[in-house]
């Protein structure tokens, strides 16, 4: 039986919920699965594949996940990996689809790509291609088989004081970012269901 580890970080809970939903789906598909927060994550060597879930903070995985990726980059680069992000915004720059990578987007983010010069700076800073570039800058050796983006949750009262102030300010200046529960369980199940065959393909140069 194949064994997958899902590692996540969460502040307001939606990324953990997404990890649990994906885990339930993979279990149904006959995969043995462990789910741990980055704080609990121990040895990753005994797993056949690793899925990493993170909220997007300013266009990058939240800092604790960045640290985990940097500390475990060598080991992770030898394993099939997939990522999922929860975030509030996602846009597409025309002609900038990352090649050779399976990208899954929550339907809510399914909007037409725009030429860069017609985008607001918020849109440019929330483009799929930028998220992918940022990820490969953080851990260049890791070559994910798949990346998914799900709209998560914005619940200011669950955030630390500093993050609450920052996100409150963003909600005031950007109508696209509003408090609410957006997690689409069906989208997460759909992604997880389609994930397993590709995720277990041997990785090149491992």
Ligand X SMILES: Cc1cc2nc3c(=O)[nH]c(=O)nc-3n(C[C@H](O)[C@H](O)[C@H](O)COP(=O)(O)O)c2cc1C
Q: Which residue ranges make up the site for ligand X (CB under 6 A)?
A: 10-15, 55-59, 86-89, 126, 152-154, 159, 163, 166-167
Rounded to 5 degrees, φ, ψ at 133 are -60, -45
Nearest approach, Cβ of residue 176 and ligand X (Å): 9
Nearer to ligand X, 57 or 83 (CB): 57
Separation of alpha carbons 117 and 93, rounded Å: 9
Separation of alpha carbons 137 and 114, rounded Å: 24
Q: How many CA atoms lie within 13 A of 99 on its CB side?
A: 1
Nearest approach, Cβ of residue 96 and ligand X (Å): 18
Nearer to ligand X, 10 or 128 (CB): 10
Nearer to ligand X, 108 or 201 (CB): 108
Nearer to ligand X, 172 or 206 (CB): 172
Q: Which residue is nearest to ligand X (CB)?
A: 152
Nearest approach, Cβ of residue 30 and ligand X (Å): 27
Nearest approach, Cβ of residue 157 and ligand X (Å): 12
Nearest approach, Cβ of residue 169 and ligand X (Å): 11
Burial class (CB in 10 A: 0-12, 13-18, 19+), 4: buried
- The total of other beta-carbon atoms located within 10 Å of residue 51's CB is 28
Nearer to ligand X, 34 or 155 (CB): 155
Continuous H helices in 72-127: 73-77, 121-124
How many contiguous H segments (helices) and E segments (strands) does the chain have? 7, 9
């Amino acid at each position: 039986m194949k064994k997958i580890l899902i590692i996540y970080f969460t502040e307001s809970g939606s990324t953990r919920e997404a990890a649990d939903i994906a885990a339930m789906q993979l279990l149904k598909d006959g995969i043995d699965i462990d789910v741990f927060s980055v704080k609990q994550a121990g040895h990753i060597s005994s797993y056949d594949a690793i899925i990493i879930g993170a909220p997007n903070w300013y266009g990058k995985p939240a800092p604790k996940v960045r640290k985990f990726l940097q500390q475990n980059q060598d080991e992770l680069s030898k394993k099939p990996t997939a990522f999922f992000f929860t975030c509030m915004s996602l846009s597409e720059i025309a002609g900038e689809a990352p090649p050779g990578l399976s990208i899954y987007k929550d339907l809510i983010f399914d909007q037409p790509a725009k030429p860069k010069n017609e985008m607001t700076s918020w849109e440019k800073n929330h483009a799929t291609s930028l998220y992918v570039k940022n990820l490969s800058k953080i851990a260049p050796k890791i070559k994910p088989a798949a990346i998914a983006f799900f709209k998560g949750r914005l619940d200011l009262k669950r955030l630390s004081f500093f993050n609450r102030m920052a996100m409150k300010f963003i909600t005031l200046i950007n109508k696209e970012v509003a408090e609410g529960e957006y997690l689409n369980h069906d989208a997460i199940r759909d992604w997880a269901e389609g994930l397993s065959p590709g995720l277990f393909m041997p990785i090149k140069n491992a």
